[in-house]
Chain A
Amino acid sequence: MQRLPRLTAGLVIICAVLIFPQGQLYSAIPYTSFSFDAWGQPVVGPAPYEPIMLIDGFDILQEDRWSMTGYSVIPLSQPYGLAVDAKNHLYIADTGNNRVVEYDAQFNYVRVIGDSSGPGRLSRPQGVFVHDDGRIFVADTGNNRVAVFSPEGTYLQAYGKPESQIFGIDYRFAPISVVVDHRGTLFVATEGGYRGLVQLTASGEFLGFIGGNQAGFDLLWMLKQIFFTEEQLSREARRLPPSPSSVTIDRQGIIYTTTISTNYGQIKRFNIGGVNTLAGRDYGARFLRTGVSMFSGVVVDDKGLITAADANTGQVFQYTPNGDVLFVFGGRGIAAIERMGVVHQASGIAVRPDGLLIVSDARSNTLHVFQPTEFAKLVHQAVFLFEEGRYDESAEYWREVLRRNSNFDFAHRGLGMTAYQNERFHEAMEHFYLAQFADGYSDAFWWARRAWLLEHFDTVIIITACLWIGYQILNRLFFRWRPRRKRDWDQVNRLLGDLVHAKTILVSPSAGFYDVRWSNKGSWLSAVTIVLTAFAAKLFSLYFTSLIFMSVDRNRINLAYEALTFILPWLIWVIANYLISALKEGEGRFKDVFIASSYCLVPYILIMIPLTIISNVMTNYEATVYHFFHNAALIWCGLLFFIMVYTVHNYDILEAVPNCVLSIIMMVVLGAIGGLVIGMTFNVTDFAFGLYKEVIFRVFR
């Protein structure tokens, strides 16, 4: 499985070499791209974007009095914010050079703004925005203002720190990102601006904060608030909510922000009332190696697709208008070498109406231009049509997407939704199943089941009624008077008798376990059989539970792992409980604990197997039923374990509680020791093997 893609890649390269022998070798895309399946696992797929250009700014000629030519080349230095205007010109906040650079649609240098002395001189500008009327707004971080330039590049005005009481005298105003809506209202993200975006009118009047994050609930902090004195509290570090790190606006004037140093709700979309309309969930961190997401920029294109760049890894994330991840691509290389498409520290992002993505890289002082591949264009079009409600049109695109990448689950989701909207529920179920989209599957199944019931309900009722009446009549007529002879299963077969003893355990556990200890019920064989059956029941439930109630990805089930997490803990429990009880005057022998513990798993078998089967005709609406029985099985098993402890060891109830607790602690300790021993053994064998190889290599070379 693993080798196939590699082989293909190899073949592709060989073919490429054969086809382009003149050294015109197309370089491979220098990063892997992936999408995600429903379980949040990355699935490598074709690249959605390919790098086409690297801009380093060595064509920027600036007037320089001291230079012999009167000009000198000043390349980009720490480019941060990017903006694209109506003519597709690109504006770069060139922070390191205290200026804004403009490029034309073909990425040729046009001019520089804000480098001349006077009131318009910029200081470390981090953000730039071009208004519809052509005015250029610059987040002039170093000067604590937003500077405005005319379309010709002359300085017009500045928005300084608002003088409103509400704004706060101590609150810093160092803009890092700015957008302006069509009414001329400014939304400014500031450095450390934990209160949210600063909202200013066109005349510079402070309107308020919008889109602040929340510090979230913290139990420790709550306790501190209750128990600490004023003085102690004042010494604590202030808990401030994370601040927005960038802001963007889409064509409808809706504001989007990114937030760094949080792993939840990193991207937000605010409606006019300042309410976040994107689902609060993890938008990136779980996909990153670093663990914390640092979104430094976000853009929204005409189709509503959201694209964000992560500063830590240089990866670019693209989402549907609903915030579902479509693609992740890009990423930094090993060393800070300039290479087209390798972004070391993504510091800003811009998108052009023609789909080109421009990502700035503050570490290697470059801009990278990415162009969507055919594959990405198909996906974008499909998503766009789907969001518009043109399901049938989108279906064609989804199919084409699947032809190019059959692992792209999102396409199955789209096709499923299309089928669902068209009331083809069986087809929808199929697609949702392939996409492992549980909620959609549940809805589609509900309708399919309803249709089936509509057709067959009367038949089912009549058959059930007939069977029931027939059973009753037969029962009355024939079976009632037949004497019920209790068959002694022990006589038939020892193992069978031991297994049937499970019934006694279920009906009256105390008596059942008593017999295990003192009447020699159960055997090693029966115990092992029951444990293995329970494990089989678990596997059965893992594999055959309806998608709606599945907790793990069926295709990623690892038998060894499942056995390790099911049988091993049980075994450790038996050992731990035996050891603890032996110390605490328990009367159970190891064999008794082993056998009795195995009987404790019987409810699990009895409930899980039917439940698994029934789950296949249940939907989300009956989830309570499923969870009720699932939990009932676990609680029942737990209770049996408890009864087992006090019956087998002849404790009273109050003695059994500490015994159980101690046994569980012992389990943890044993587990830790076991892990340690296994780890050490592995290391030692590894070392020995390494030594052996080394010796062989040195001696018999």
Chain B
Amino acid sequence: MKMETPMHWTWRLARWKPSALRARLRLLAKRLWQDRVSYLMVAPYVLTFVIFILLPVLGAIGLSFTFYNMIEAPRYVGLLNYIYLFTEDDVFMTYVLPNTFTFAVIVGPGGYLLAFLLAWLIAQLPRRMRTFFSLALYTPSMAAAVAMSTIWLVLFSGDRVGYLNSFLLGLGVITEPINWLHSSEWLMPVMIIVTLWSSMGVGFLAMLAGILNVDPQLYEAGKIDGVKNRLQEIYYITIPSVKPQMLFGAVMAIVNTLQAGSIGVTLSGQNPTPNYAGQLILNHIDDFAFQRFEMGYAAAVSVVLLIIVYISSKLAWALFGAKEGE
């Protein structure tokens, strides 16, 4: 490691002198031109990314500082939307944020662990069974809406003949049917259960692929080195090997849980959900954007969501990301 001396500091500050800057810019342009073919190669991706992702995000951030109702031109209002969000919007502070947190805290890690566990279990199966089971587990995340009405709505039906009510009444645990989907205390647990059930999505597939890709020689080597049981195998070999996939799964889990919004509305059949019991951030955005047409405010909520997702992803990186030297 080179030692820092005061000389270096002066040099670094010198870089900001106008003359030096001009020289550096010229150098940059020259190098850009040299690599023009490479830039051409990445252009399709960069262009689509900019048009379809970067610009909308920037647009949303821009809109979040305005009042915009889709009819008049946006009017700049400064931080007012954000101030309103954290101070005046009682629904957001008393229902939406706590709900989202409860939901994310349980569904995120829970679904993630479940995905890993099931992926590992499926990886132990013989090939043909494996395909079948992974397809079966992946289906809920694709066909959630259909399955919802055929399975969960019947299971959690609020009357006496709903499966769960009927079962519990028969056991004598409850004395009158519980309206699972429309009571403010039960909607959230039901949402969590259903989401956990359908959480075997892309992250699950990635982890499955990762686990299947672990070199069998590693396990053999481990056995020779004294691995005695499966738990140790998982801990010492599988997890370190599939770390990249696990990171991907974690980020997907976070994004999915924070962006889940339709579940409460689908289950209860109404937006806003009864007593705001299942109101998540996305429902809130939806509510303001497409029912009240307060686009500027909805954009502000989206930006807050973006920031939350960003921070949580950072957290996931810190936990699962490969560290230097590893």
With A624-B101, A653-B235 known to touch, is A450 a contact of B87 (CB < 8 Å)?
yes
Q: How large is the interface on A (under 10, 10 to 19, 20 to 34, 35 or more residues)?
A: 20 to 34
Q: Mark B69-87, 1 if CB is under 8 A from A, else 0.
A: 0000000000100110011
A492 within 8 A of B: no
Q: Are A217 and B173 in contact (CB under 8 A)?
A: yes
Cβ-closest chain A residue relative to B175: A214
A559 within 8 A of B: no
Which chain A positions have C-beta within 8 A of B94?
Answer: 446, 621
Find B4's partner among A214, A446, A454, A483 (CB 8 Å cutoff): A483
B1 within 8 A of A: yes
Q: Compute how far the CA of A624 lies from the CA of B106 in the bound complex, rounded to whole angstroms.
A: 11
Among B88, B93, B97, B174, which residue has the most Cβ atoms of chain A within 10 A?
A: B93
Q: Compute how far the CA of A353 lies from the CA of B4 in the bound complex, rounded to whole angstroms.
A: 91
Q: Are B98 and A222 in contact (CB under 8 A)?
A: no
Q: Compute how far the CA of A309 lies from the CA of B269 in the bound complex, rounded to whole angstroms.
A: 49
With A461-B82, A621-B93 known to touch, is A217 a contact of B228 (CB < 8 Å)?
no
B262 within 8 A of A: no
Cβ-closest chain B residue relative to A215: B172
Which chain A positions have C-beta within 8 A of B171?
Answer: 222
Q: Compute how far the CA of A200 lies from the CA of B324 in the bound complex, rounded to whole angstroms.
A: 83
Which chain B positions have C-beta within 8 A of A374?
Answer: none
Q: Are B87 and A453 in contact (CB under 8 A)?
A: yes
B231 within 8 A of A: yes
Chain B interface residue count, Cβ-Cβ cutoff 8 angstroms: 28
B232 within 8 A of A: yes
A183 within 8 A of B: no
Find B83's partner among A225, A458, A482 (CB 8 Å cutoff): A458
Q: Are A482 and B4 in contact (CB under 8 A)?
A: yes
Q: Are B4 and A654 in contact (CB under 8 A)?
A: no
Q: Compute how far the CA of A653 lies from the CA of B228 in the bound complex, rounded to whole angstroms.
A: 10
A615-649, CB < 8 A from B: 621-625, 628
Q: Mark B17-61, 1 if CB is under 8 A from A, else 0.
A: 000000000000000000000000000000000000000000000
Q: Compute how far the CA of A461 lies from the CA of B300 in the bound complex, rounded to whole angstroms.
A: 14
Q: Compute how far the CA of A483 lies from the CA of B8 in the bound complex, rounded to whole angstroms.
A: 13
B105 within 8 A of A: yes
Cβ-closest chain A residue relative to B234: A653
Which chain A positions have C-beta within 8 A of B1?
Answer: 483
Which chain B positions have C-beta within 8 A of A489?
Answer: none
B291 within 8 A of A: no
Q: Are B105 and A628 in contact (CB under 8 A)?
A: yes
A430-459, CB < 8 A from B: 446, 450, 453-454, 457-458
A479-527, CB < 8 A from B: 481-483
With A458-B79, A654-B229 known to touch, is A624 a contact of B102 (CB < 8 Å)?
yes
A652 within 8 A of B: yes
Q: Compute how far the CA of A446 lies from the CA of B98 in the bound complex, rounded to whole angstroms.
A: 14
Q: Are B87 and A653 in contact (CB under 8 A)?
A: no
B7 within 8 A of A: no
With A222-B171, A457-B87 known to touch, is A481 a contact of B4 (CB < 8 Å)?
yes
Cβ-closest chain B residue relative to A483: B1
Find A621's partner among B86, B98, B105 (CB 8 Å cutoff): B98
Q: Are A457 and B86 in contact (CB under 8 A)?
A: yes
Q: Mark A213-224, 1 if CB is under 8 A from B, else 0.
A: 010010001100
Q: Mark B186-198, 1 if CB is under 8 A from A, else 0.
A: 0000000000000
Q: Are B172 and A624 in contact (CB under 8 A)?
A: no
B217-268, CB < 8 A from A: 228-229, 231-232, 235
Q: Compute how far the CA of A442 lies from the CA of B228 in the bound complex, rounded to whole angstroms.
A: 53
Q: Are A653 and B231 in contact (CB under 8 A)?
A: yes
Q: Compute how far the CA of A231 lies from the CA of B174 in the bound complex, rounded to whole angstroms.
A: 26
* B110 CB → nearest A CB, Å: 13
- 22 A–B contact pairs at CB < 8 A? A217-B173, A221-B172, A222-B171, A225-B172, A446-B94, A453-B86, A453-B87, A454-B88, A457-B83, A457-B86, A458-B79, A481-B4, A481-B8, A623-B98, A624-B98, A624-B102, A624-B105, A625-B98, A652-B232, A653-B229, A653-B235, A654-B229
Chain B positions near chain A (C-beta within 8 angstroms): 1, 3-4, 8, 12, 79, 82-83, 86-88, 93-94, 97-98, 101-102, 105, 171-175, 228-229, 231-232, 235
- Closest 8 pairs (CB-CB, A-B): A454-B87, A453-B87, A624-B102, A457-B83, A653-B231, A483-B1, A621-B94, A621-B98
